[in-house]
Amino acid sequence: KSGDHAFDLGKFPVGAYEFRIWVKDQEGRESHRGIHDFRVMTAEDQAIPADKVYRMTEADLAAYGIRNDGDFEKIVFVETNGTEKVVKEKRAGVPGYTVTVPMDEKTGRLPWQAFKKAKVAYDEGYDKARVEADAVTTIEGIQKLIDDKATNGFRKVVMLPGVYRVSATKRIELPDFFTLDLGGAVIKENAFTGASSLMVKLGSTIDSHLVNGTLEGDYWTHDYKHSPNNSEWCSGFQIGGDSWYSSVENVKVVDITGYGGQNGIAKDAKGWLSFFCESLPKFTSGGLDPKTGEVDASDAFRFTTDFADLKKITGEKGRRRLQISKHLGYQGRLTHSWQMTVCWYDAEKKFLSPETCWQYREMWIPPAAAFLRVSIEEESVEAANKTELRLTAFRLPVNCAVKNCTFDHCRCVGYAASAMKNFLFDGNFFTHSGESAAKCAFDAEDGWDQMQDVYFVRNVFRENPVNNSILTCAGHNFILEKNDCDVYFWGRTHSPCVRDNAIGSATYRCDSRLRSGYGRFDGNAYAKGINLGLNEGKGPSDGWDY
């Protein structure tokens, strides 16, 4: 059973490694082959030398047109007895604006959907057009400073303290092998009208990092009335596309109109959503014999493609991995079983080797392979040819991390997780997030089956108004350990593992053994209760007692 065996890889020399593991049971049946990547570095290689660190100066502010004096916002909470409490000061002596927020009469705390109750008063002389023009110049200047220093060989820029008011029409994008250290500074989004924005982007970056500061949204001054789609896609940061070994650490995301942080597939300057997307040849009756690579015509339960040419994938695209799955849209298991049989063939279509594969999981293309064939289980050949299966490989973040961050008062979602592989969420704090739209503190949803091998450890959730959970809607092999939170898994979440957590309430859904796999829930303390059950109370399709 899963979890019955453990092993130690030991120590490896410095370098990049691809690790593959699969299992054969006592009947000789093979599991799919899990592929994982890791790299080994010395402590010296990980450290950034002092001569590769650039510290911003006052002269840089003038040279690049950057302003760090943009704290024009004052927040005042009005308590039920009429007394006022200033919770955020603004820079004195300059025109700004004051946001007044009435506290909830019953609780005496910040009211539900406070953005609807807040009032903004602008000081005489506050020039919105001028502030926005400065905000554009500031974010453009920050980007140029980063690009210039990266071009000159620096691996880190440390910003001066202050409040950098930036325009929502632009974003800060990090280069490869580069760290932006905010140095305790605040990147403050200027008020705007619109449904989407992004403050900092790690787009298909390798070994890039955002650390040590605050990203503050325009929650109190956003023009919700004239913004379409509930202004949901206004975000703090994104780790997207083909990003590797990148992270966001020790960053506070506060007062974001939409999502505090997000990750997933993304189009950017380096490419489209996937490296390639090829259709499979049509299926015909019979199943592949893994011993010979020939089609067994007597197999009435499986259907097999003709030879699929890999030349474009391995040659033109230069890729050595692929997956067999649906491409975009609502994903999920497309055939009777998650598993399929693949046989690899050389340029003369001579059989090389078989493999048991799993929909959405990567496969490694053998060096001599020029063709493949695929067998699936389905009701009929007509059903097989309607499955929407593709040969593809998505550009998604791998071996990335979000560590020791705070997500405070993020209106729609504290963190919106999407497509990812070997992703780490470690030591983060979520509070007062998710009061509108998706209404989640943490929402792993739109990546569907591209969310794989995700590890949550030591995260804490407090006072999130609707959903205080680590919530997952799909994905494979989510592992939760030593968290303090609620948990909600839909039955599309395959084979999760929840162990040694302090949990308020938990819901573990199950559609069927086939769709949901085996959940493992061990050593948890439940303060409020636990719900083990079927999605929406529907009966299981395979009679499996969960």
**Widest distance between CA atoms in the chain:** 86
Strand ranges (DSSP E) for 269-350? 274-279, 283-285, 287-288, 295-296, 302-305, 308-309, 321-325, 339-345
Query: CA 199, CA 169: separation in Å to the nearest integer?
Result: 9
pLDDT band at residue 546 under the 50/70/90 scheme: low
Q: What is the pLDDT of residues 53-74, one digit of tens each?
A: 999 999 999 999 999 999 999 9
Strand ranges (DSSP E) for 401-450? 401-403, 406-408, 413-417, 420-426, 429-431, 440-444
pLDDT band at residue 4 under the 50/70/90 scheme: confident
Q: What is the pLDDT of residues 524-542, one digit of tens each?
A: 999 999 988 776 656 555 5
DSSP characters for 224-262?
Answer: -TT-SGGGTEEEEEEEESS-BS-EEEEEEEES-SSEEEE
Determine phi and psi for 449, rounding to 5 degrees: -80, 5
Query: CA 498, CA 415: separation in Å to the nearest integer?
Result: 20
Which 8-state DSSP code applies to residue 268? B
Q: What is the pLDDT of residues 245-275, one digit of tens each?
A: 999 999 999 999 999 999 999 989 899 999 9
Please list, in sequence order, all residues whose beta carbon lies within 8 angstroms of the beta carbon of residue 104, skipping any fewer than 6 positions away.
Answer: 110, 111, 112
Q: What is the pLDDT of residues 13-24, one digit of tens each?
A: 999 999 998 888
Convert 95-109 to b/e letters by CB count within 10 Å (16 or more is b).
ebbbbbbebeeeeee
Residue 513's pLDDT is what? 82
Residue 29's pLDDT is what? 86
Q: What is the pLDDT of residues 441-476, one digit of tens each?
A: 999 987 799 999 999 999 999 999 999 999 999 999
Mean pLDDT value of segment 509-516: 84
Residue 318's pLDDT is what? 94
Q: Is 85 within 8 Å of 77 (Cβ atoms)? A: yes
Residue 510's pLDDT is what? 84
Say whether pLDDT at 27 is over 70. yes
Q: What is the pLDDT of residues 119-150, one digit of tens each?
A: 999 999 999 999 999 999 999 999 999 999 99
Q: What is the pLDDT of residues 386-423, one digit of tens each?
A: 999 999 999 999 999 999 999 999 999 999 999 999 99
- The separation between CA 232 and the C-alpha centre of its own chain, rounded to angstroms, equals 16
Mean pLDDT value of segment 179-200: 97
Q: Is 520 within 8 Å of 3 (Cβ atoms)? A: yes
The structure's pTM equals: 0.95
Percent helix, strand, coil in the chain, to 5, is 10, 40, 45
Convert 226-241 to b/e letters by CB count within 10 Å (16 or more is b).
ebeebbbbbbbbbbbb
Residue 515's pLDDT is what? 85
Q: Is 425 within 8 Å of 402 (Cβ atoms)? A: yes
